[in-house]
Amino acid sequence: MNQTIRAMVRETHVGKDDFIYPLFVVPGNGVKKEVSSMPGVYQMSVDQIVRECAEVRALGIPAVIFFGIPEEKDEVGSGAYDDNGVVQQALRAVKKETPELLLITDVCLCEYTSHGHCGIVRGDEIVNDESVELLAREALTHAQAGADMVAPSDMFDGRVKAIRAMLDENGFQNLPIMSYAAKYASGFYGPFREAAESTPKFGDRRSHQMDPANVEEALREVAQDIQEGADIVMVKPATPYLDVLWRVKERFGMPTAAYNVSGEYSLVKAAARLGWVDGERVMMEMLTGIKRAGADLILTYFAKEAARYLDSHR
Ligand SMILES: [Zn+2]
């Protein structure tokens, strides 16, 4: 009956320090375009990203992760490892304006390839090893532009090892890697594909992303990434995979991240808009569940809203 006692014995605390806020960088100037399936989420040009990052930091959120949408896409995703690509530009600009914000980059090719796949395609196959080389180059350009951490999201084999070697050879021995270690082939990514303009033109990602039914496989994937040098391991999506998150945290005891993905966000937003759920309450319950299941870090589109909520409910 006593809310003070209830708060004092609370076991799980979601805090702003847990949040990583995803941002979509597009070419141009003065661009701020809302993603229709993700109310409150925008594609932004570098100048707008700089302002956004200052606001994110002022709200007390410690970190952002950048996804880039290039001017032009091609077969080999050249924009991903271009020194002057959109993400590389955003890194330099934000580092100058808001140096205390932790800048993480998504390392993948799918936003940059004309076919929308995460790597090089030959025939109807996505080839692993050549793709991994390009991912390592991409990670290096991010590091050189000021990234504080890189996050490979492709799920190809051997990419953490290749990125680690590339960073080490070029003086970035201390730059950590957060690997998307257990990433499922999920329908919950739908709205993201609009935000990142990365829908595959043919086929799907089932040749390298995991079957939603598997958990032992997830533990093997995580073990492999740790062995290759991952500093933080991620489970993605979050809420449909809380058991996976729990087992990863229990088994390895590593710093563990969960990606509360676009579909999880959009479902809450849509239901709240229809008046079917209390959006704020469901948001906090979702984030609490993810934390309770073992996440140390939560990548979430709710970060700003949840930060404001936490400020007003102290
Ligand atoms: Zn990808």
Tell me, in angstroms, the distance from the centre of ligand 1 to residue 201's CA.
Answer: 13
* The pLDDT value given to residue 173: 98
Tell me, in angstroms, the distance from the centre of ligand 1 to residue 113's CA.
Answer: 10
* The pLDDT value given to residue 94: 98
Query: In 10 A of CB 123, how many CB atoms?
Result: 6
pLDDT tens digits, 131-164: 999 999 999 999 999 999 999 999 899 999 999 9
Tell me, in angstroms, the distance from the centre of ligand 1 to residue 167's CA.
Answer: 20
* Confidence band for 15, pLDDT divided at 50, 70 and 90: very high
* The pLDDT value given to residue 257: 98
Catalytic residue among 73, 183, 249, 269: 183
Tell me, in angstroms, the distance from the centre of ligand 1 to residue 204's CA.
Answer: 11
* The pLDDT value given to residue 155: 87
Model pTM score = 0.96
Tell me, in angstroms, the distance from the centre of ligand 1 to residue 128's CA.
Answer: 13
Tell me, in angstroms, the distance from the centre of ligand 1 to residue 118's CA.
Answer: 4
* The pLDDT value given to residue 207: 81
Q: How confident is the prediction for the chain on average, in pLDDT? A: 96
236 carries an active-site annotation: yes
* Confidence band for 200, pLDDT divided at 50, 70 and 90: confident
Q: What is the spatial distance between Cα 68 and Cα 86, in angstroms, rounded to a whole number?
A: 6
* The pLDDT value given to residue 203: 83
Radius of gyration (C-alpha) of the chain in whole angstroms: 19
pLDDT tens digits, 230-261: 999 999 999 999 999 999 999 999 999 999 99
Tell me, in angstroms, the distance from the centre of ligand 1 to residue 40's CA.
Answer: 23
Q: What is the spatial distance between Cα 104 and Cα 209, in angstroms, rounded to a whole number?
A: 22
* The pLDDT value given to residue 193: 85
Q: Which tokens sit at 107?
A: 């390392």
What is the torsional sign of CA 268, 32, 25, 232?
negative
* Confidence band for 212, pLDDT divided at 50, 70 and 90: very high
pLDDT tens digits, 93-136: 999 999 999 999 999 999 999 999 999 999 888 899 999 999 99
* The pLDDT value given to residue 205: 83
Tell me, in angstroms, the distance from the centre of ligand 1 to residue 275's CA.
Answer: 34
Written in H, E and C, the secondary structure of the chain is CCHHHHHHCCCCCCCHHHEEEEEEECCCCCCEEECCCCCCCEEECHHHHHHHHHHHHHCCCCEEEEEECCCCCECCCHHHHCCCCHHHHHHHHHHHHCCCCEEEEEECCCCCECCCCCCEEECCEEEHHHHHHHHHHHHHHHHHHCCCEEEECCCCCCHHHHHHHHHHHCCCCCCCEEEEEEEECCHHHHHHHHHHCCCCCCCCCCCCCECCCCCHHHHHHHHHHHHHCCCEEEEECCHHHHHHHHHHHHHHCCCEEEEECHHHHHHHHHHHHCCCCCHHHHHHHHHHHHHHCCCCEEEECCHHHHHHHHHHCC
Share of the chain above pLDDT 90, in %: 91
* Confidence band for 178, pLDDT divided at 50, 70 and 90: very high
Tell me, in angstroms, the distance from the centre of ligand 1 to residue 242's CA.
Answer: 22
* The pLDDT value given to residue 69: 95
Decide if pLDDT at 314 tops 80.
no
Q: What does the pLDDT average to over 64-78?
A: 96
Catalytic residue among 33, 73, 201, 236: 236
183 carries an active-site annotation: yes
Q: Which tokens sit at 197?
A: 């303009």
